Amino acid sequence: MKTRNGQTNLERAGEAGSRSRFDSCQARRRTRARIGGMSRTVGILFAAVAGCAALAFDPVSALADGTNQELRQGPAAMGDWTTDAPGVRRLITVGDMPPPYDTKSSDNGPRLVPRPAGAWPKVPAGFAVDLLAEGLENPRKIVTAPNGDLFVAESGPGRVKVLRPGADGKVARISVFAAGLRQPFGIAFYPPGPNPKYVYVADTDAVLRFAYHHGDLQAGGAGEMIVPDIPGGGHLRGGGHWTRDIVFSPDGGKMFVSVGSHSNVSDDSLEKKRADILEYNPDGTGFRIYAWGIRNAVGLAIEPVTGALWGSVNERDALGDNLPPDYITHFQEGGFYGWPWYYIGDHQDPRHAGKHPELAAKVIVPDVLLQAHSASLCMTFYTAGPFPASYHGWAFAAEHGSWNRARRTGYKVICVPIQDGKSKGEYDDFMTGFVTASGDVWGRPVGVAVDSQGSLLIVDDGSDSIWRVRYTGEAGAGTAR
């Protein structure tokens, strides 16, 4: 694929017709596969009416090995926070999507409240939840260093902190690794492996790296500028998606940086080098656009079996409560994912009616469709030992929670069954309970990582906390305080 330095989505569209990497039948084949998968599972459809099965579901019935006794499909899979429970499995297909404007577009942001007395996240039976850290300031991304230290981006104050766990796994020491940053988010160690020499940090408008030696709690000097010209952005609404995640290919040869769109659904010049996955060499040279038409891939991760690049994506707003789905998918080199003209295959956004018909058949359908407006953020793959074997290789993702939906969705952590690097499109609710009975919100998952002991860590910027999920094997949905 040729480098497209400085091109906008509009300019790239003009050359897309000649790009041999795109298979014109690909979107149709994948759509047929998803519909076929739906028909094969119709025999186990739990409910024909949205919400009926959900209200009857007992969260304690979720099995500790990660399997479950219920699959929700169609409208029942879309649900809202009242239908969430650990172990609920969902399958949303292309054929389940309603037409645009099937419901009125909502402005229903969360009302954040302090965690009520007795409130605690819910997880499947056999797991326990600890409050690992609290009192942080706008914590977002979390990454585990090879020595077990936890690097956390506090985006608002512009710094990266290091949390050092003690022998019991609890935080024994906190240090500021780097400060004076501009909305830092992505963190990656380079080269990959047990002895990295650098910590890379993705600010909203640049990538920097800091010299690193095993166990450093503070950067030894100022950051070295690696990529100075990433399009920066403030906070939507109106100001642009600002988070920039960063990962390296397994061999360390390439660096991937996610850049979200400036707008909800515009194709003007402000979208230059945005709504893309950018690729560089580790020294910042060799720029090209790896994949495009991706509204906001907040979280990136490398799938451990195939080495493929995966991402967690926020789709567009204002088309209705259940349209379009957010998604988790692997990214194909040179792949086009539709934004802003199309979504989830060849479905044209009515706000761009008639534009770029030559692109319709080229839009790649994502691997896993999620409840619309969930705001899927960071993701990771579980490859440690303590969780049951059925979880090995699964993807975990933080759903920050909706604002553009009449009834809330998201505000939970989900997990995606992955086998041999592939997904069937299903996902499970894993951690829930961040919404009160009255619909107020006390927690918002954003970052996920696996610590050196094999526990799952969840950064919650609603309560400025970090939660730890351990597997105990004990009967019942255990908690610890």
| Residue 4 placed within a domain | no
How many C-beta atoms lie closer than 10 Å to residue 43's C-beta? 6
Greatest distance between any 2 Cα atoms in the chain: 61
Question: Which range has the worst mean pLDDT, 50-54, 221-225, 272-276?
Answer: 50-54
pLDDT at 233 over 80: no
Q: What confidence score (pLDDT) does residue 253 get? A: 98
Is residue 139 within 8 Å of 447, Cβ to Cβ?
Answer: yes
Residue 397: both structure tokens together: 């993702």
pLDDT at 263 over 60: yes
Q: What confidence score (pLDDT) does residue 480 get? A: 55
pLDDT tens profile 384-441: 999 999 999 999 999 999 999 999 999 999 999 999 999 999 999 999 999 999 999 9
Q: What confidence score (pLDDT) does residue 70 get? A: 79
| Residue 283 placed within a domain | yes
340 cis-preceded (ω within 30 degrees of 0):
yes
**Contacting residues for 400 by C-beta, under 8 A, at least 6 apart:** 374, 375, 376, 377, 410, 411, 444, 445, 446
pLDDT at 39 over 50: no
Predicted TM-score (pTM) of the model is: 0.87
| Residue 480 placed within a domain | no
Question: Which range has the worst mean pLDDT, 17-26, 132-141, 413-422, 429-438?
Answer: 17-26
| pLDDT tier for residue 313 given thresholds of 50, 70 and 90 | very high
Residue 383: both structure tokens together: 């490859």
| Residue 102 placed within a domain | yes
Task: Return d(Cα 324, Cα 438) in angstroms, integer.
Answer: 27
Task: Return d(Cα 416, Cα 41) in angstroms, integer.
Answer: 17
How many C-beta atoms lie closer than 10 Å to residue 480's C-beta? 11
Q: What confidence score (pLDDT) does residue 43 get? A: 33
- CA proximity to 394, closest of 92, 41, 148, 65: 65
Domain assignment of residue 387, given as a range: 9-471
- % residues pLDDT > 90 (the chain): 81
| pLDDT tier for residue 167 given thresholds of 50, 70 and 90 | confident
Number of domains within the chain: 1
**Contacting residues for 110 by C-beta, under 8 A, at least 6 apart:** 401, 403, 408, 411, 440, 441, 444, 462
| Residue 384 placed within a domain | yes
pLDDT at 25 over 90: no
| Residue 54 placed within a domain | yes
| Residue 477 placed within a domain | no
CATH number assigned to the domain comprising residue 38 = 2.120.10.30
pLDDT tens profile 98-118: 999 999 999 999 999 999 999
Q: What confidence score (pLDDT) does residue 66 get? A: 47
Task: Return d(Cα 231, Cα 204) in angstroms, integer.
Answer: 8
**Single-letter amino acid, residue 282:** P
| pLDDT tier for residue 331 given thresholds of 50, 70 and 90 | very high
Element (H, E) at 92: none
Question: Which range has the worst mean pLDDT, 35-39, 156-160, 288-292?
Answer: 35-39
Q: What confidence score (pLDDT) does residue 22 get? A: 32
Range with top average pLDDT, 36-40, 52-56, 319-323: 319-323
- % residues pLDDT > 70 (the chain): 83
Task: Return d(Cα 228, Cα 231) in angstroms, integer.
Answer: 9
| Residue 2 placed within a domain | no
Task: Return d(Cα 290, Cα 258) in angstroms, integer.
Answer: 10
Residue 41 falls in which region: left (phi positive, over 0), alpha (psi -120 to 50) or beta: alpha
pLDDT at 12 over 90: no
Span 272-292, mean pLDDT? 98
100 cis-preceded (ω within 30 degrees of 0):
no
pLDDT at 165 over 60: yes
| pLDDT tier for residue 459 given thresholds of 50, 70 and 90 | very high
SS3 for 89? Answer: strand
Q: Mean pLDDT over all residues of the chain? A: 88
DSSP 349-381: -GGGTTS-GGGGGGBPPPSEE--TT--EEEEEE
Phi, psi of 76 (to 5 degrees): -65, -25
Element (H, E) at 54: helix 52-56
Task: Return d(Cα 267, Cα 346) in angstroms, integer.
Answer: 17
